[in-house]
Amino acid sequence: MAKIEFQHVYKSFGSTKVVEDLNLTLEDGKFNVLVGPSGCGKTTLLRMIAGIGPATSGQILLDGQDISNIPPGKRGVAMVFQSYAIYPMMTVRQNIEFGLKNNRVPKAERERRISEVAKVVGLEPYLERKPSQLSGGQRQRVALARAMVKEPKVFLMDEPLSNLDAKLRAAMRSELVQLHKQLQTTFVYVTHDQVEAMAMGDCIILMDQGKVMQQADPETIYGDPDNIFAAQFIGTPPTNILTMGSEGFKLGFRPEAVSLSGSPLPNKIFTRRAVITTREMLGAETLYKLHLEDGQEVMARLGDSSLAVGDVLQLQVEEESIYFFDAKGDRVRKDVAQDYLALLERVQRSNES
């Protein structure tokens, strides 16, 4: 069990500033997912927690205690890397046992822990095999077992599934979620895949260029984005963002919030004439690209597959599905009533003209 806190953390590599004044709390026992584009600093954050790439300045606390001066092996954290290095000459058992031997854990205790962990990750039948005799997913489990057997307070995982094919990846995702339920320890899981983040995390930390853009549960990050970056990073296709007027305000709505119909519907706040320019059948849903009269483009994701390229329709969105953003890309929420209402009025007026 452990809570992790970053307080005014800075990290530079030479003159390159990767993280500046980061303040972030990862709650105890949660499945935390760090997600963001390549190079945003995810691995850097994990390495700081693990103690293998210290912060340039600031504090990192583990359960309220500053860990800056605690060596990596004594922090109670275990890390599983993207390219998990398991020793090819050792059996599965020896691979799992290795770290325990190094830490002088007595033999009886080692055996107890190995059989417990092997059971949890489903490696019992394979303990005497060499890694070359295992599938990719089984090897991945060896790497996990090696971390688990240390009984850490915190699990750090850096894209641990990226070497697996799509099917195995999906299976391992749910195994990891299951594992977290069983262990109830703090997980910090890194991925650049927003689908994986949404599927696995109970707390998502969305990062861009060393900054936390939003920290929330999956429902909130999807339905109530703090900024344009969050609205567009989470969800496929991304949230539509349209310009409105000259002050830099923007309006956003998800492709799945769009209604298309032959004539205007009641209760829709945003209405535009639009022509379908592409149509992509996804199965249960169909993706349409539409061209508005002012030249802007909109994606729509609908259950209705009967529309065709060239159809001219009313594109509409209701008020609850509209997000407003200021010139900096930050959300203008309803609780800033004056600005919000002014923007809403502007949208309504734009329908009539």
Question: Under the rule (CB under 6 A), what is the footprint of ligand ATP?
Answer: 13, 16, 18, 38-44, 192
- The residue (of 34 and 147) whose beta carbon lies closer to ligand ATP is 34
- What residue 41 binds from ligand ATP, Mg ion, none (CB within 5 to 8 A, per partner kind)? ligand ATP
From residue 29 to residue 48, the character string flagging contacts with Mg ion as x (rule: CB under 5 A) and all else as - is --------------x-----
- The residue (of 19 and 148) whose beta carbon lies closer to ligand ATP is 19
Whether the Cβ atoms of residue 9 and residue 19 lie closer than 8 Å to each other: yes
Rg (CA), the chain: 25
HSE at residue 337, side-chain half, CA atoms within 13 A, is 0
- The residue (of 97 and 196) whose beta carbon lies closer to ligand ATP is 196
* Strands of the 16-26 sheet, one edge to the other: 16-26, 4-13, 57-62, 65-66
Contacts of 333 (CB under 8 A, 6+ apart): 340
- In angstroms, the CA 10 to CA 56 distance is 5
- In angstroms, the CA 79 to CA 52 distance is 10
- What residue 176 binds from Mg ion, ligand ATP, none (CB within 5 to 8 A, per partner kind)? none
* Beta bridge partner(s), residue 61: 5, 66
- The residue (of 38 and 353) whose beta carbon lies closer to Mg ion is 38
Cα dihedral value 83, 190, 173, 217, nearest 10:
180
The maximal CA–CA distance of the chain, rounded, in angstroms, is 80
Provide, rounded to whole angstroms, the least separation between the CB of residue 44 and ligand ATP. 3
Provide, rounded to whole angstroms, the least separation between the CB of residue 29 and ligand ATP. 24
Provide, rounded to whole angstroms, the least separation between the CB of residue 158 and Mg ion. 6
Provide, rounded to whole angstroms, the least separation between the CB of residue 16 and Mg ion. 15
- The residue (of 118 and 204) whose beta carbon lies closer to Mg ion is 204
Give the Å distances, CA to CA, from 109 to 57, 106, 113, 153, 179: 39, 5, 6, 18, 21
- What residue 186 binds from Mg ion, ligand ATP, none (CB within 5 to 8 A, per partner kind)? none
Provide, rounded to whole angstroms, the least separation between the CB of residue 136 and ligand ATP. 20
Tell which residue, 154, 151, 135, has the closest CA to residue 86: 135
- The residue (of 13 and 87) whose beta carbon lies closer to ligand ATP is 13
Tell which residue, 24, 28, 17, 9, has the closest CA to residue 186: 28
Provide, rounded to whole angstroms, the least separation between the CB of residue 159 and ligand ATP. 7
- The residue (of 43 and 271) whose beta carbon lies closer to ligand ATP is 43
**How many residues sit in the footprint of Mg ion (CB under 5 A)?**
1
Provide, rounded to whole angstroms, the least separation between the CB of residue 78 and Mg ion. 17
Q: Which residues of this chain interact with Mg ion, rule CB under 5 A? A: 43
